[in-house]
Structure 1
Amino acid sequence: MTEKEPLGPRLVLTDAALLAALSLAAMSPLADAFDGLRWVVAAFGGIVIGLAGTLLARRLRWGAVLTALLLAVAYCLVGPALAAPDRALGGIIPTARAERDLLTGTVDGWRNALTLPVPLTDSFQVLVVPLVVGLLGATLAATFLWRSRWPSVAGLGVVAMFAVAATFGTRGTELPVVRGLALTIVLLVWIRWRALRSVRTSWPRRILLTTSVVAVAAIAGWGVNAATAGDATREVLRDHVDPPLEQLDFKSPLSKYRSYYLTQDDKDLFRIDGLPDGARVRLATMDEFDGIVWNVSTLDRSSGSSAFDRAAPAQSSTTVTITIDDYAGPWVPTIGGASGVSLTSNGDPDAARQLLRNDSTGAIAQIGGVAAGDVYTVDWSPTPAAGSAPSDAAADRSVAFDRPARQLPQLDKLAQTWIAQAGASSDAEIAAAVAQGFSTKGFYSDGRRDEAFATASGHGAKRLADLVADPSRMIGNDEQYASAMAFELQSLGMPARVVLGLEADKGPDFVGGDIAAWVEVRFVGTGWVAFDPTPPEDQQPAVLQEDPNPVPQPNVVQPPILPKEPATAEGAAPEGAGKSLSGQAWELLLKILGYVIVAGKILLLLSPLWALALIKRIRRLRRRRDPDLLVRMSGGWREVADRARDLGTTLPRSQTRVESSMVLAGRYPRADLPPLATVADRHVFGPVDPSADEVDAYWADVRTALKRMRKDAPWWRRPLAWLSPASIPWRSVGRSSVARARTAGIRVASSRLGRRVAGAGATARSAVTSAARRKGRR
């Protein structure tokens, strides 16, 4: 970086004010993605840090590394007040938790800003995005403007901020083309004014011409794009990123079914006030089965069970109030079709929590999970009653879902039998026949140990196969029956899903033993209709008892067991049989190759060659920044000679600069090295010392010559030159180190000897003085 042009206070203030205003304007698309003005504070703070840090580094003549360290320290000191004020002490002073959020936000904040529903708040480190964008963009623009030879390129930093803000915005951003056009015009006028600020000209005419040219080009480009692209819509990154379901911190909701009545059978989970008669209490809705568990799908973000968006606050008069007790998890209890929800929390006010709602399922999720004492007010609307679909209703196959990849032939055969017995022809009749078949032919068991028919938990494909293995003794509970029915209906091409909830007739205080599950199928013109395939709890199979009066059998003497001869090794398959020799050889080769790669990485990281590159870098900086202008001038030529040695050219150290340049001219003709040697000799041996501008210009020519020397070198020599030790005078370094150590030792020894001699002299003088005094007294 060079700093040739003097910067006056007025010019710096003008540049800083324009850059800050243009940067904020460039980041304006983020206003559609964020709620409130907290993002403006974070963005402006990042811009100020970038501008002030770059200007201070220029003042101190710091390089890129020290500048980056300065900006990192400023980010850690000021960042908590800008991006994590709720974690900072008093909203300003950094704390350990604020620093943790700030640092993790540099990685997680970008993902959260794209995957969380808009408008974004100040939670989940999303404010790190405008802070970092403003800091990096302002630093890039200020570096080009104040620390390079290309100040006109400073607009790239502002353009980069606009591009990032637009991609992290929403499709609802108003007039993005007009914003970009206005930003481009202002940038061009400012950069042109800065370059010609000392020239007298008609600036209104220039501004008008610039605006006209840019506007005509923009209109022409827009017209061509509209004519060729058709009905194209604006694309943003959040449209191509799946929602972060891991933020909800849940596994399959249905897999926890048995734990509710085994561990929380009599525990109060929550209370619902205002619960209407017959309403179903819902927890979670699952529409994807992977053969192991039912879960929330990620198939169709626009309509599936994973299409969560920010929940609207409760506003209607049809509400219920839910008070959480011992219930825990991400799913908020609701009834019917929930449309809005409000939260009054008695938990940790500093906890990062957020309410989400699924428009397709009506489910409400709480990121971070519900807590004891939370009170939810939920707007709800009635849903179709169980089995209320018309008999001729057709399934709504416009709903996207994945058919199960695995088939259960016994379940298919059993369902076809029930459908044939019921004479079902329409989709509604088929769903009702399958539900009735399970509820009438099956038996109920919770799997408790005190029951006569303890059954296994789970609802995977293996458990469903065991359920229907013996149609005369199907035993299970809601978990198995709801899973089996939804599995079969999806196999038949009908949109079915499993709902985990609680029995509504047990309210208003619900306990773990009230857990329930059912199936919902979507029909055209009706919506999602519930079906209950689970048999009644009192429908249990008869106990199979052994005959109490078995026929006695006579005692039969069993023949003795004769010992057998031990098996011989002859004819036995050798260990490792079944594996081909080629397969074993490949496994061994791949294992050895993996060890070699790991060892190579370790050796590369621990290689002393990195120290060579660091030594050369420090050496070049010392030569470039030496306070003595003559030493700095001669250091430029020494840098050329050292680069030639690294590239494989041997130069005797007894040669003069001109002699060395003649040798190098044949090897690197495009570098034009003889003039450099002549200029260095003229200034070093001349009567007048060079000025600072002449030294800077000489070093600029040196950098150009070094680039041309590298281009003239063979291609295989170029990467080796960075790590070549040829330019490091190891002997002279060793001798100088020994000499410095010897000089230091001599200084220490001489100082100690001097103190001793001085002490002896003082003692002698004291003795002579005492003798003279005694003699005088005599």
Structure 2
Amino acid sequence: MPRGAAAVLDVTVLTLAVLVALTPLLPVYGGEVLMVPALGGAVVGAATGLLTAWARWSVPVTTAALVGVVAVLGGPLAAPGDTLGGVVPTPQSVATVVRGAALGWKDVLTLQPPLGGSGWLLVPPYLLAVVGAAVAVRLATGSGRAAPAAAVTPVVVLGGAVLLGSHTTVSPVAVGTGLGVVLLVWASWRSGRLRARRPVALVLLVALAGGAGVGTATLVEAQRDRYVLRDVLVPPFDPRDYASPLSAFRSYVKDDDTVELFRVQGLPEGARVRLATFDRFDGVVWNVAGDGSSRASGEFRRVGETISEAAAEQAASADANGRDGTRVEVGIEVAELDGVWLPTVGDAVSVRFADADAQSRLRFNDATGAAVLTGGLGSGLTYTLDAVIPTEPDDDRIGSAAGRELDLPEPQAVPDAVVAAAADAARDAETPVQVARALEQALHENGFFSHGLADQGDYPSLSGHGSNRVATLLDGDLMVGDAEQYASAMALMAREMGLPARVVMGFAPGLDEDGEPVAGADADPDAPVVVTGADVTAWVEIAFAGYGWVTFDPTPPESQTPQDEEDTSQADPEPQVAQPPPPPADPVTPPQDDTDQPQTQDSDDSGGWALWQRIAVGVAAGSGVLLLLLAPFLVIAAIKARRRLRRRRDPVPARRVVGGWQEVLDLATDLRRDVDPVATRREGAHALLLGFTTVPEPEEPRGRRKRRAPKPAPAPTP
């Protein structure tokens, strides 16, 4: 065991290296919340490793001591909520550390950052710090030649932190390069291969290590394809296992039009409540996209104390005038709303449930702002939503901004009527936002509204939003439907025009048929807003580069019904005016050119020429393939011919003779009659004579072959 300054240097370097290796976890936990378990765990681990090395404990005893230290001191450092006064360990804190060591890794990978420090979430980084520092210090201060191998331990800790981390990094080039240089210099010094009296070697080593580290890290950073386990480990909840709530749109209006679904406290004037967001159309329904990508709408994860970092930053920067958005705190109490989809408002920052069990069942998707509650909602469920309602940019502000590039699934079975209607509506539009507004106005102004409820006297209108229903809406005798059909139609039309569009289903309480706040709706701002099935609606969101998702409402006003159009036409009938008879049709004059003798010779010639062209192309292609297959053999033959010519034309007679003999040997080799390379030319010639004048007998099976003397060549006749 090293003593004095050497031991202090070993412990200091390795402990700091372990702390640096944990920096990829800073964005995962939100910053300073990671400091106590990381720093405390590294110090505890280094002290444990130093103690066990000084006492020369065996590996089993060292492991037992490390487990005890982790369990006892893990409470104050990683689970202070279960200790007395945040310091004194308790049986509950020990149990929390044990459970966190077994289950905390799963929560770290399934919760969306930042995680915070509740429960046992801080146990995994605490374990990495304790175990990493203990192993590194024990290897460095123990006896034997394994001390330089301690430099590998912080690298392993860094790999584990990267796998548990997220795509948000903290100076990866500086961290990786600095850690590599320090550990390489320390390992070289520790192994005795680096001396302070060799400054040139030290500078050269640092320069090479730093250059290699910066180059490698820069190359890896340029790839922007950071591999983290949270991209692979997908939570078991899959919203595609549930029916699309948009398919039940008509049932809200028909069965729950007066039923209280939920009530909202603190809802701003004109705000909408989001229930679900859909970006995948399979020809039958709009639904969420598949999982497996951080951009996919089907990927719902457990969330920590803070849901969205982007929304939190936006909330912090929003001013009183709502320049970037309005910060709101909304309370929601569920009444008769069922299913798994949780109503939200704006861009959620955090969701706090009164029931701890409901908090653990919350799943959220940052890409769409939608939330679900596994196991379903229940009457009496209450929660508080901290959110930011973004300010909608107007068309002049969006200007000529292009549609944002997003990875959205291609719509399937899109009817031809969508393509034709989109092209016709946007024929005069010049910018992407003008295209979107033209599509919205074409449906909003030319369509009619009807839920198709016969008992309420509505005009007949089928439910659904699949390809057939959208084709009927756009290509039928009368464009009539409700928000379900119009939102689906506009989203498909926008996709056909190259705009990233999605359908949103939700509720618009306190809004009139044009989406404007109802007069007097804000008379009592403190009164909760009761949401019923009659408030259900659907709209379209289109993403523009630099402005995010912008709302479009293509649904016509509820007062714009087909009955009004028919009544107007019957109330003011046009006077019947006798029309004069149509003029006689002009006689059809046949064309002046010769139509009785069609020119077929050119077509025959062209057909024959085309046939010969096809034959020539086929022959050329076949010859090319054959030449390609024979190319290796032709190359070998050409090389041999050139070699033979060179030997034959050698200006030195002796070399020409030697070349002739080499040609004989090459030919014998090609004919599988090898000559002993150490034999003289006379012996070789005699062997070739025997080989080419002897008929080889059939080869017997291996193991039974007997040696037979070759038959001598017949003597020449005198």
TM-score computed with the length of structure 1 as normaliser? 0.51
Letter in 1 for 2:178: L
1:400 aligns with 2:406: yes
Query: 2:227 is matched with which residue: 223, 237, 240?
Result: 237
Query: 1:215 is matched with which residue: 206, 221, 231?
Result: 206
Which residue does the alignment assign to 1:511? 531
Which residue does the alignment assign to 2:319? 316
1:152/1:495 CA distance change after superposition, 3 Å: closer
1:295 aligns with 2:299: no
Checking the alignment, whether the CA contact within 8 Å between 1:286 and 1:297 is kept in structure 2 is no
How many residue pairs end up in the alignment? Answer: 513
Query: 1:531 is matched with which residue: 553, 562, 565?
Result: 553
Secondary structure at 1:498 match in 2: strand
1:23 aligns with 2:26: no
Letter in 2 for 1:177: A
Looking at structure 1, the residues matched to 558 and 7 of structure 2 have their Cα atoms a distance apart, in angstroms, of 82
1:181 aligns with 2:173: no
Looking at structure 2, the residues matched to 309 and 148 of structure 1 have their Cα atoms a distance apart, in angstroms, of 51
- Deviation of the 1:519 alpha carbon: 1.9
For residues 685-744 of structure 1, give each alpha carbon's deviation from its aligned partner in whole angstroms, at most 9, with x where no partner exists: xxxxxxxxxxxxxxxxxxxxxxxxxxxxxxxxxxxxxxxxxxxxxxxxxxxxxxxxxxxx
1:105 aligns with 2:104: yes
- Deviation of the 1:41 alpha carbon: 2.8
For residues 144-168 of structure 1, give each alpha carbon's deviation from its aligned partner in whole angstroms, at most 9, with x where no partner exists: 3437652221111123224444563
Looking at structure 2, the residues matched to 394 and 185 of structure 1 have their Cα atoms a distance apart, in angstroms, of 51
- Deviation of the 1:407 alpha carbon: 1.6
Residues 473-484 of structure 1: matches in 2 within 5 Å? 477-484=482-489
Secondary structure at 2:116 match in 1: coil
Checking the alignment, whether the CA contact within 8 Å between 2:50 and 2:137 is kept in structure 1 is yes
Query: Which consecutive unaligned segments of at least 5 residues does structure 2 have?
Result: 301-306, 512-520, 523-528, 565-718
Task: With a CA cutoff of 8 Å and minimum separation of 6, indicate the structure with the bigger relative contact order.
Answer: 2
For residues 53-92 of structure 1, give each alpha carbon's deviation from its aligned partner in whole angstroms, at most 9, with x where no partner exists: 796599686556x766765566555545544444667654
Which residue does the alignment assign to 1:37? 32
1:163/1:435 CA distance change after superposition, 3 Å: same
Looking at structure 2, the residues matched to 21 and 350 of structure 1 have their Cα atoms a distance apart, in angstroms, of 41
For residues 465-510 of structure 1, give each alpha carbon's deviation from its aligned partner in whole angstroms, at most 9, with x where no partner exists: 7x65993587754234322331343244332221223225345614
Residues 51-70 of structure 1: matches in 2 within 5 Å? 52=48, 62=58
Which residue does the alignment assign to 2:691? none
1:404/1:471 CA distance change after superposition, 3 Å: farther
Query: 1:161 is matched with which residue: 153, 157, 161?
Result: 157
Letter in 2 for 1:316: D
- Deviation of the 1:138 alpha carbon: 3.1
Residues 256-655 of structure 1: matches in 2 within 5 Å? 257=249, 262=255, 265-267=258-260, 269-271=262-264, 273=266, 275-276=268-269, 278=270, 280-291=272-283, 292-295=285-288, 309-310=308-309, 311-312=311-312, 313=315, 315-317=318-320, 318=322, 319=326, 320-326=328-334, 333-334=344-345, 341=349, 348=356, 351=359, 363=369, 374-376=383-385, 378-383=387-392, 396-402=402-408, 404-409=410-415, 412-413=416-417, 416=420, 420=424, 428=434, 432=438, 436-437=442-443, 444-445=450-451, 459=465, 471-472=476-477, 477-506=482-511, 509-513=529-533, 514-521=535-542, 528-533=550-555, 536=558, 539=561
Looking at structure 1, the residues matched to 392 and 483 of structure 2 have their Cα atoms a distance apart, in angstroms, of 21
Looking at structure 2, the residues matched to 478 and 234 of structure 1 have their Cα atoms a distance apart, in angstroms, of 41
Checking the alignment, whether the CA contact within 8 Å between 2:503 and 2:540 is kept in structure 1 is yes
- Deviation of the 1:517 alpha carbon: 0.7
For residues 179-217 of structure 1, give each alpha carbon's deviation from its aligned partner in whole angstroms, at most 9, with x where no partner exists: 743664367447745879xxxxx98646x5675233222
1:309/1:136 CA distance change after superposition, 3 Å: same
Checking the alignment, whether the CA contact within 8 Å between 2:27 and 2:169 is kept in structure 1 is yes
Letter in 2 for 1:494: L
Letter in 2 for 1:141: A
Looking at structure 1, the residues matched to 16 and 214 of structure 2 have their Cα atoms a distance apart, in angstroms, of 30
Letter in 2 for 1:413: A
1:88/1:518 CA distance change after superposition, 3 Å: farther
Secondary structure at 2:540 match in 1: strand
Which residue does the alignment assign to 2:578? none
Checking the alignment, whether the CA contact within 8 Å between 1:389 and 1:529 is kept in structure 2 is no
Letter in 1 for 2:156: A
Looking at structure 2, the residues matched to 298 and 101 of structure 1 have their Cα atoms a distance apart, in angstroms, of 27
Letter in 1 for 2:331: T
For residues 401-450 of structure 1, give each alpha carbon's deviation from its aligned partner in whole angstroms, at most 9, with x where no partner exists: 546442243xx237636865997666746864576458755652277998
Which residue does the alignment assign to 1:656? none
Looking at structure 2, the residues matched to 294 and 414 of structure 1 have their Cα atoms a distance apart, in angstroms, of 19
- Deviation of the 1:137 alpha carbon: 2.4
Secondary structure at 1:528 match in 2: strand
Looking at structure 2, the residues matched to 537 and 245 of structure 1 have their Cα atoms a distance apart, in angstroms, of 45
Which residue does the alignment assign to 2:665? none
1:445/1:72 CA distance change after superposition, 3 Å: farther
Q: Superposition RMSD on alpha carbons, in Å? A: 5.6
1:182/1:9 CA distance change after superposition, 3 Å: closer
Secondary structure at 2:259 match in 1: coil
